[in-house]
């Protein structure tokens, strides 16, 4: 019986091709918009997660304390964590390794080429902490750090900008007029969270940066320190140990606030992800308004159709159609319209989001949610918008319906 009803419904909607298409269009646009928004939101969330993952998800970041005046956050205080602190943190239980950074932005020169780069002074563990890999050559050693060797390990952007197709290993680049030997190159990482180029980087021994580039008045302090826990579930525990150790080393009495901040990378990922989720839910909610408009379109068309086909309904009833059959047929028509509309909308939504992802350089996942949402929407919208017209058709008195002009 269901097959016969669906077939009858199909023939009916196929009889009014343009009208059916225009009605479907509303649902198509609605579903395509929802799918695109959900995909866009998911692409952004994935990008955030990937970026954090590329930075190392077991990471604990230790930075300067926040300055709070009268309840208002006023930026960051002076660096308080020393190189010695970082070395001491490495001895803590469940700590895989530690590292730190001293940043300097300088112009790198090789031959006639020059390029503005971000120089990070650190220790050899920085690679492991931040998931960097050596592409070519070697990383400097602890011995090099102690000796403040003028060694540079350069990112792919720096390789491209300064050396082009030449092999940079063993070449000398100049920063602030001082020579540094390139001993290694880093494997490409791609863009960062804010679209920044993560490969525009030069790693050097922290001592080298301190002595030759930074000229800092507080050379023993790190800008930011990293502690890498042995696993993600140990992070909370390690963070507590880090805090305890630093308070002890900084001789902070009870009641005195920390002169540093400890942040978990997972916490930051969760925060950013929840913002991303809320954002994509909001986008989907806005897009779903067009779905409501589309479903009103279906209801309108079905109501017109019931009125137009009053005599047909009367004839069908006179010829033995039970009321339930009439209701099911009209319901099937609206469900078919919204189902086909949703399916086409989903296909277009996926196609456009892939195209958009391609254009903007984002990897857009084809979400199973898009399919689930589309099918659910199809059935729900079809039933909701078809129910009233179907009930109207079902309740028609066959005598009045047959007399209808």
Partner 1 sequence: MAEKTVIDVQHVCKTYFMEGGTSQSVLKDINFQIKSGEFVAIMGPSGSGKSTLMNILGCLDKPTSGKYILEGYDIASKDDKELAVIRGKTIGFVFQNFNLMMKRTIADNVSLPLIYQKVGETERYNRAVEMLKKVNLIGYQDRPPSQISGGMQQRVAIARALINNPAIIFADEPTGNLDSKTSDEIMELFTFLNKQGITIVLVTHEDDVADYATRMIKISDGHKVYDGLRKEYSKEKEIKC
Which residues would be at the binding site for partner 1 (CB under 8 A)? 1, 4, 7-8, 11, 15, 311-312, 314-325, 398-399, 402
Record the tokens describing residue 178, joined without a space: 């001082």
Nearest distance, CB of residue 374 and partner 1, angstroms: 30
CB 204 within 8 A of CB 180: yes
- Residue 377: closest CA among 6, 34, 106, 82: 34
Nearest distance, CB of residue 393 and partner 1, angstroms: 14
Nearest distance, CB of residue 332 and partner 1, angstroms: 13
Q: How far apart are CA 13 and CA 175, in angstroms?
A: 73
Parallel, antiparallel or unpaired: strands 134-137 and 151-154: unpaired
DSSP string covering 305-352: HHHHTHHHHHHHHHTT--HHHHHHHHHHHHHHHHHHHHHHHHHHHHHH
Q: How far apart are CA 204 and CA 125, in angstroms?
A: 12
Nearest distance, CB of residue 390 and partner 1, angstroms: 16
Q: Report which DSSP code applies to 12.
A: H
Nearest distance, CB of residue 399 and partner 1, angstroms: 5
C-alpha dist (Å) from residue 59 to 81, 177, 221, 315 = 16, 35, 20, 74
Nearest distance, CB of residue 6 and partner 1, angstroms: 12
Nearer to partner 1 among residue 31 and residue 327 (C-beta): 327
Nearest distance, CB of residue 13 and partner 1, angstroms: 11
Nearest distance, CB of residue 16 and partner 1, angstroms: 8
Q: Alpha helix (H) ranges present in 16-141?
A: 17-55, 83-89, 126-129
Residue recorded with tokens 């609206």: 334
Nearer to partner 1 among residue 8 and residue 160 (C-beta): 8
Record the tokens describing residue 27, joined without a space: 């649902």
Q: Report which DSSP code applies to 133.
A: -
CB 103 within 8 A of CB 119: yes
Nearer to partner 1 among residue 277 and residue 325 (C-beta): 325
Q: Residue 154: phi, psi to the nearest 5? A: -110, 150
């Amino acid at each position: 019986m269901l097959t016969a009803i669906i077939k009858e419904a199909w023939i009916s909607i196929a009889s009014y091709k343009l009208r059916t298409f225009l009605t479907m269009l509303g649902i198509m646009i609605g579903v395509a918009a929802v799918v695109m928004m959900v995909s866009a939101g998911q692409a952004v969330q994935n990008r955030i997660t990937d970026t954090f993952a590329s930075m190392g998800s077991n990471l604990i970041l230790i930075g300067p304390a926040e300055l709070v005046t009268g309840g208002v956050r006023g930026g960051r205080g002076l660096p308080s964590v020393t190189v010695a602190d970082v070395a001491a943190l490495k001895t803590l239980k469940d700590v895989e390794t530690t590292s730190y950074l001293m940043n300097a932005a300088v112009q790198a020169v090789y031959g006639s080429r020059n390029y503005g780069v971000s120089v990070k002074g650190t220790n050899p563990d920085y690679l492991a902490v931040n998931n960097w890999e050596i592409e070519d050559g070697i990383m400097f050693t602890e011995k090099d750090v102690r000796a403040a060797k003028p060694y540079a390990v350069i990112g792919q952007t720096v390789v491209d900008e300064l050396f082009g197709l030449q092999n940079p290993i063993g070449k000398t680049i100049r920063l602030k007029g001082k020579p540094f030997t390139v001993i290694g190159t880093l494997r490409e990482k791609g863009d960062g969270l804010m679209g920044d180029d993560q490969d525009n980087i030069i790693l050097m021994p922290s001592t080298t940066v301190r002595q030759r580039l930074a000229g800092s008045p507080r050379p023993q302090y790190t800008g930011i320190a990293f502690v890498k826990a042995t696993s993600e579930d140990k992070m909370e525990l390690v963070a507590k140990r880090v805090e305890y150790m630093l308070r002890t080393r900084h001789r902070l009495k009870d009641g005195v606030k920390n002169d540093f901040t400890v942040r978990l990378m997972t916490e930051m990922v969760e925060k950013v992800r929840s913002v991303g989720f809320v954002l994509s839910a909001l986008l989907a909610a806005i897009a779903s308004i067009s779905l409501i408009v589309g479903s009103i379109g279906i209801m309108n068309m079905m109501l017109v159709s019931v009125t137009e086909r009053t005599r047909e309904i009367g004839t069908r009833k006179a010829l033995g159609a039970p009321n339930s059959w009439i209701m099911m047929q009209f319901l099937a028509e609206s469900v078919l319209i919204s189902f086909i509309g949703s399916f086409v909308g989903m296909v277009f939504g996926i196609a456009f989001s892939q195209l958009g992802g391609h254009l903007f350089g984002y990897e857009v996942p084809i979400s199973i949610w898009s399919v689930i949402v589309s099918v659910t929407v199809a059935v729900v919208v079809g039933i909701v918008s078809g129910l009233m017209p179907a009930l109207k058709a079902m309740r028609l008195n066959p005598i009045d319906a047959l007399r209808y002009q």
